[in-house]
Amino acid sequence: MWALGTHLVLGTATIYAPGIVTQFAQQDAWLAVLLAGMFLAAGGTLLPLLTLAAPGKGLLRALEERTTWLARPVALVYGLFLLHLEALVTDEVSTLWQQATMAQTPATFFIVTVGLLAAGAARAGLETISRVATLVAATLIVLTPLMVILGLNMIHFDEFRPVLATGWEPVLAASQPATGFFNEVLLLALIWGNMGDVRAASRNRGQRFWQAYRNVLLIVLTTTLISLVVTGVVIAAFGPREVTRMLIPTLEYLRVIRLGEFLQRLESGTLFFWTWSIFVKAAILHFLACEAWAVTFGLRDAKVVSLTLLGPLVFLALSLTRDPVHFQNYIMVWGFVSFPFEVLLLAVSLFFIWLLQGRVRPPESRPAPSDHPRKVARP
Amino acid sequence: MNLLPERVLPPQEAGPVSRAVPPGGRTPPGRRSRPGRPFRRGQQPGPAHGPKQGEGLGSGQGLGRPTPGPQIRPGAPVEGTPPIYSLVDRASRTPLSYRVAENLQRIKVILGNSADLVTRTLHVPALSGRLVGLSWLEGLVDGVRQSEYIVASLQKGKSLQEGPARNLPEQGSAPREVQGIGETSHVVTRPRPRESEGLVDFLRQHLLAASDVSLGRTWEDVLKAVLNGRTALFVDGADQALLVETREVPARSVAEPEVESVIRGARDGFTEDLRTNTALLRLHLQSPALRFEEIRLGRQSQVPCNIAYVAGVAHPQLVQEVRSRLLRIASRYSFNLGVGALEQLIEDHPFSLFPTIHHSERPDKIVAQLVEGRVAIIVQGTPMVLTVPTLFWEFIQSPEDYYERPYLASFVRMLRFIMLATSLTLPSLYVALVSFHHEMVPPPLALRIAGGREAVPFPAVFEALLMEFSFEVLREAGLRLPRPLGQTISIVGVLVIGQAAVSAGIVSPVMVVVVALTAIASFTTPSYSVAISLRLLRFPMIMVAGTAGLYGIAWFTLVISLHLAALRSFGVPFLSPVVPFFGEDWKDVFVRAPWWAMRRRPHLYTRGSRQATAGLVPQPALFAERARRGNREKE
């Protein structure tokens, strides 16, 4: 859970957040990130509340169990939204690599290869994705302090002064897009019930809530800390004015690092690890998209659509995100655009169902074929 | 007094159970085990996997009567082990004759009058000169032991009248002596069961000096025993045979393992003989909880295979899983193909490049794994023992790690991890840097590399593939040749051909260095199987590095990670305890914690987690006593 949630935030947040946040808050960008973390800790309560509404299954599946006529259109909206989101994430890879070193390699190559890998991961299942996510998250957490240490000679703490020169208003404004990146974690509500940590029968509702909320807090803490470090280091290295001119300041920071006389310009090496992180995010989104499309078409197993969705994904990634400026603007308003889709629509749907039907327990589902007594091996 | 012989039913009429066994040992579904059908995970081996060995057929189990599940007894063969089939099936499943001559003739027929089959008859004075037949396979039997414990004993034994006659059947039911029929001095009538048992019991308890004598009721029992090196002993008037342990298998003695040699550890290694191997395990682990279960592998070869585990530590489900997987393949193959083939037949992911079953030839290593809760599989004829479940990290561990102090062991282990990554990625990283990411290389080094590659007509990717391919050829040639010649070929290949290739401008000097470093790094991986997997993966990785640079390497490593994360070994995630995360088990993954700190067994596959009590930190007794005294004074 921690690894999955962290990856949904980390890749995009560390690449784009420093530039965007600095545009609003200048040298106080680090304060904006800190503030965003505090907002997230408070707003994160929404996630366990939603998942506790349907323990043992994802929200879409819970909605499907209650009513099919509403679940299918809602799932269709989510299916489209998630594919779009995945297309954006997939395109990030090509943007980054083309900007860093491989300008001549066509974007299609990056998009298709990442999409193919994400589809394969979705087919392998959530468990496999979460294991890879844990491995990659651990690597990124080790590499972040390394990145800081390697650039220590460029850091000037004077760049943070004066603190709060323009007051709190720009800091609050800057914290909004930073919070927007975290909204994507709410997408986990669609499948969180499947992960089992809110299902323990021995716990009461309060304990289950706290258990789930601890996971959210851990994600918030990790991502806020890493975003804080990256934003702070970038500002300390270039100064706020320079940072606002850069599209991807983190990449520029890595470009100027010198590792003695042996290796120089480490951005390609860092992109190597970022690719891992972005892939995990794409894989999670692909899995979620598969779930949504499976509900739309009334399929029991979401894995069967994983490769089918590759075509629309490549089409979306190639057609929708060709303009980098459009992409940057899109990210700046990302929080406002994405939030309603990320979980609000589903929450509202569930609320309406609750109003219409009352808090009726859904009928017990039939046992799976493997659980059927006739299928069990006779002693 | 009933002298009429009791009717011995032919196999077709021997009752419902025997009817249920058609030729070839195939049984109808639902009745007995179906050798061809895979067992589901967690499934018991079935309600009846054939009669217990030695019980024979028609032992009173009625048709449709539910029979209890197999009770696995330590040391006893696991029920469900396939009987001998094919060429000898119909003959072997018939009961024995009560005539010695018939029995000896039949064994000759069954074994095709094999050249190494020896039969002999002799008259036993203790049984009033009754005829006894011996049969054994030459080369598998210790002649001295056989002469001393069987032949001499039979000749010297007390006579029937002088001996403990109370053990024999009634006088009236004794076999009648009929003179003048050929060479056979005794023509006997078909005995009643009690008579037959009385005879063989008398022989076993009063005449034979051998310690290990078992009873064979069917030809299947007799053939199994004779093929295993026992001597079969038939007595006129008894439709049972005595199977005397006289085995002397030609086997090499216990020697130091060649592949897994250590500096400070034990020097004994497994041999090809199963019993020697189990004895070695017993010597290293003298616990009553150590269990061995036997399963015969191969429809014709019937090679014994033992499952070893520590009862109470190994998870019962894991033991059951191993048992069922072995039983699934036991009768499907005609011949035992050895541990390598067995491994491929019972592993979880047959299409994976990575082995998910570990093997070792060191008894100390296997014992350590058994104590951790794993299950070992020992096969006759192979000095390698398999252990399951296997985790990826075990392939990086060496027995030496556990004999050295933790700091050195941890350092060496970390070194191995780095070398593992190096052996997989170094050539591809070089290709990626040279082909796509020149900016990462500082100018002086870049100039030197460019200077070296000036005369090379190939792109870096082709150059790397060529060198790697040449290296694999040299390595393979070195392995196939006799050892001194093989070493010479390797040295000549590396030094002479490498130098000549550089001089001719076919490869650059840096590439030679890269490939040599990669080769040396690959040799640090303790597991040969994993080293091979990495060698194979190196080729596609070089190709993707030559096509897409660092991005290609990132993509390919993700493919490998996804594959590894999806693997399981007997149900246990292959990458655990790293993912899924079990912090306590990390004490023996990347580093090797001190012995006194490793007090718990791995969580995922053991039942009892604690393997040592607290307070193991070394502390001189004198200091401890002083501290105790000081505390008392303070109080």
Q: Which of A109, A132, A264 sits opposite B440 (nearest CB)?
A: A264
- Tokens 């009648």 identify what position? B176
What is the complex's ipTM, to 2 decimals? 0.82
Q: Are B90 and B227 in a shared domain?
A: yes
Q: What is the mean pLDDT of chain B?
A: 77
Domain membership of residue B452 as a residue range: 406-566
Q: Are residues B298 and B378 in the same domain?
A: yes
Residues of A in contact with B436 (CB under 8 A): 101-102
Closest A-chain CA to B557: A276
CB pairs under 8 A between A and B: 100
Task: Quickly state the pLDDT bin for B88 (edges 50, 70, 90).
Answer: low
Cβ contact, residue pair B47, A378, below 8 Å: yes
Q: Is residue B618 part of a domain?
A: yes
Q: Are residue B95 and residue B241 in the same domain, yes or no?
A: yes
Local confidence band at A251 (pLDDT 50, 70, 90 cut-offs): confident
More confident residue, B607 or A293: A293
The candidate with the shortest Cα–Cα distance to A280, out of A98, A99, A140, A144, is A140
Nearest to B98 by CA among B129, B133, B126: B133
Average pLDDT over residues B432-439: 87
Q: What percent of chain A has pLDDT above 90?
A: 5
On whether both B268 and B354 belong to a single domain, the answer is yes
Q: Show Cβ contacts of residue A295 under 8 Å, excluding neighbours closer than 6 positions.
A: A60, A61, A63, A64, A71, A72, A75
The rounded percent of chain B whose pLDDT value lies above 70 is 76
Is residue B65 in some structural domain?
Answer: no
Q: Is residue B290 included in any domain, yes or no?
A: yes
Q: What is the pLDDT of residue A339?
A: 65
- Whether the pLDDT of residue B497 is over 90: the answer is no
Nearest chain A residue to B44 by CA: give it.
A379
Least confident of B258-267, B316-325, B360-369, B597-606: B597-606
In chain B, the residue whose alpha carbon lies closest to the alpha carbon of A370 is: B40
Confirm whether B111 is domain-assigned. yes
pLDDT of A320: 66
Would residue B110 count as lying in a domain?
yes
Going by pLDDT thresholds of 50, 70 and 90, the confidence category of residue B336 is low
Does B565 sit within 8 Å of A135, measured CB to CB?
A: yes
Range of B56-65, B187-196, B538-547, B584-593 with top mean pLDDT: B538-547
Q: Is B37 on the interface with A (CB under 8 A)?
A: no
**Is B173's pLDDT higher than 50?**
no
Q: Which domains does chain A have, with CATH numbers?
A: 2-355 (1.20.1740.10)
User: Which residue blocks in A101-204 are alpha helix, DSSP H?
Assistant: 107-124, 126-150, 169-182
Q: What is the pLDDT of residues B123-160, one digit of tens each?
A: 888 887 888 999 999 888 888 888 888 888 888 765 54
Q: Is the pLDDT of residue B267 over 60?
A: yes
CB B398 within 8 A of CB B490: no
pLDDT band of residue B630 (cuts 50, 70, 90) is confident
Query: Domain ends where: B566, B584, B615?
Result: B566
Q: Which of A101, A261, A377 sits opposite B439 (nearest CB)?
A: A101
Q: Judge: A101–B549 Cβ closer than 8 Å, yes or no.
A: yes
Q: Do B471 and B585 sit in the same domain of this protein? A: no
Task: Residue B43: list chain A partners with CB under 8 A.
Answer: 377
Give yes or no for A123 touching B (CB within 8 A): no
B157 inside domain: yes
Check pLDDT > 80 for residue A164.
Answer: no
Q: Which of B353, B327, B352 is nearest to B342 (CA)?
A: B327
Q: Does the beta-carbon distance from A121 to B580 stay under 8 Å?
A: no
Q: Does A264 touch chain B (CB under 8 A)?
A: yes
Select from B525, B547, B566 the last residue of a domain: B566
pTM greater than 0.80: no
Looking from the CA of B503 toward its CB, the CA atoms found within 13 Å total 6
Instruction: Identify the pLDDT of residue B608.
Output: 54
Rounded percentage of chain B residues whose pLDDT exceeds 90: 23
pLDDT > 80? residue B458: yes
User: Up-side HSE of residue B410: CA atoms within 13 Å toward CB?
Assistant: 12
Bigger pLDDT: B6 vs B245: B245
User: Last residue of some domain: B517, B537, B566?
Assistant: B566
For residue B437, the chain A residue with the least C-alpha distance is A101
Average pLDDT over residues B227-244: 89
Same domain assignment for residues B88 and B212: yes
B555/A109 CB distance under 8 A? no
Same domain for B88 and B198?
Answer: yes
For residues B93 and B241, membership in a common domain is answered with yes
Answer whether A5's CB lies under 8 Å from A216's CB. Answer: yes
**Do B386 and B413 lie in a common domain?**
no
Mean pLDDT of chain A: 77
Residues B15, B144 within the same domain:
yes
Cα Rg of chain B (Å, integer): 32
Whether B63 is in a domain gets the answer no
Nearest to B440 among A97, A113, A268 (CB): A268
Residues of B within 8 A of A272 (CB-CB) are 550-551, 553-554
Q: Out of B27-36, B256-265, B325-334, pick the least confident.
A: B27-36
The pLDDT-based confidence of A18 (bands split at 50, 70, 90) is confident
Q: Do B442 and A264 touch (CB under 8 A)?
A: yes
Q: Which of B69, B559, B578 sits opposite A379 (nearest CB)?
A: B69
User: Rounded distance, CA A59 to CA B465, Å?
Assistant: 50
Structural domains counted in chain B? 3
Together in a domain, B180 and B230: yes
Domain membership of residue B6 (yes or no) is no
Chain A nearest-CA residue for B568? A128
- Among A61-70, A205-214, B171-180, B599-608, the minimum mean pLDDT is found in B171-180
Is residue B466 located within the same domain as residue B486? yes
Tokens for B506, please give them.
């076919």
pLDDT tens profile B390-429? 999 988 888 888 888 889 999 999 999 999 999 999 999 9
- Mind telling me how many Å the CA of B580 is from chain A's nearest CA? 6
